Amino acid sequence: MVDQERAADVIARDLERRIITGELPDNSPLPAEKDLGQEYGASRTVIREVITALTNRGMLENRPRFRPVVKKPGFDAAFNTVGSIVQHLINAQEGVETLFQSRVFLERALVREAAIRAQSSDIRELRAALQANKEAIDSSEDFYKTDIEFHRVFYAIPGNPIFTSLHEAYTQWLAAHWVKMERSPERNARNYESHKAIFEAILDRDADAAESLLERHLEQAWEQVKGTFNV
């Protein structure tokens, strides 16, 4: 006894196909519900269901009362759709900690990789990010940005788009907790020093040192974030 499919599922599959193949171009608006209905011989009711389904899968972007916009999915879209779930999961301290620890784990590996395989262009990027970091020590908002940017470089080095998307996702998911962190020029300076130490370990091609420096750096950050829970 096979579950018979809903009309909406069939149409959704076909629309997905059309989006993937580019027949419906990225960033273009979807045809009107009425037209889609005619094309597929279905009622607006069904088309509407299709649209909400694809919206939640990240293949359409749908502001109320505007035409849905086609989004050809990339790995970043994938992580975006997860967003709402993760948001719920990290409401408990345990959730944030789990997420943060996974980040620490991955980033340790990324830093190690950087120490071993970073090319001169990567080094340049790191140096630039570090410099920007230094210059922003006295500006609490800017420092946050340059801080993130410095870490982002590590996610970019392997050249795998999944990691860059993942960095986006991590920073978004953890942002809420991060911004609550106390900021001060002194703290910023200490963070900058950590970054600098990591950078130098990478220049020395000392993977073990780089990794453990990063670990310590993130653990310190975590201690601060954790403080924001028990307020």
Q: Given the rule CB under 8 A, which residues bind a copy of itself?
A: 3-6, 8, 16, 20, 45, 48-49, 52-53, 55-59, 63-64, 73-75, 77-79, 81-82, 84-86, 88-89, 91, 98-99, 101-102, 105-106, 108-109, 112-113, 158, 160-163
| Contact of residue 32 among a copy of itself, DNA, none (CB under 5-8 Å per partner type) | DNA
| Contact of residue 181 among a copy of itself, DNA, none (CB under 5-8 Å per partner type) | none
| Contact of residue 182 among DNA, a copy of itself, none (CB under 5-8 Å per partner type) | none
Choose one: 36-44, 98-106, 137-145, 185-193; the region binding DNA (CB under 7 A): 36-44
- Half-sphere exposure of 197 toward its Cβ, with a 13 Å CA cutoff? 16
Instruction: Provide CB contacts within 8 A for 221, sequence distance 6+.
Output: 181, 191
Which one of residues 41, 141, 159, 186 is an interface residue with DNA (CB under 7 A)? 41
34 binds DNA, rule: CB under 7 A: yes
152-155 CB contacts, 8 Å cutoff, 24+ apart: 153/122, 153/125, 153/126, 153/129, 154/107, 154/110, 154/111, 154/113, 154/114, 155/107, 155/110
| Contact of residue 44 among a copy of itself, DNA, none (CB under 5-8 Å per partner type) | DNA
Distance separating alpha carbons of residues 128 and 184, to the nearest angstrom: 22
Distance separating alpha carbons of residues 46 and 8, to the nearest angstrom: 6
CB of 152 to a copy of itself, least distance (A): 16
45 binds DNA, rule: CB under 7 A: yes
| Contact of residue 231 among a copy of itself, DNA, none (CB under 5-8 Å per partner type) | none
Instruction: Provide CB contacts within 8 A for 117, sequence distance 6+.
Output: 157
Residues 11-30 vs DNA: string with x where CB under 7 A?
-------------------x
55 binds DNA, rule: CB under 7 A: no
CB of 6 to a copy of itself, least distance (A): 5
Q: Is the dihedral of CA 147, 150, 154, 155 positive or negative?
A: positive
Cα torsion 189, 187, 94, 172 to 10°: value is: -60
- State the helix-helix crossing angle for 93-117 and 161-179, rounded to 10 degrees: 140
Which one of residues 15, 19, 24, 42 is an interface residue with DNA (CB under 7 A)? 42
Look up residue 231 and give its two tokens: 């307020």
Distance of CA 221 to the CA centre of its chain: 19
Q: Which residues bind DNA (CB under 7 A)?
A: 1, 4, 6-8, 30, 32-35, 41-46, 48-49, 62, 64-67
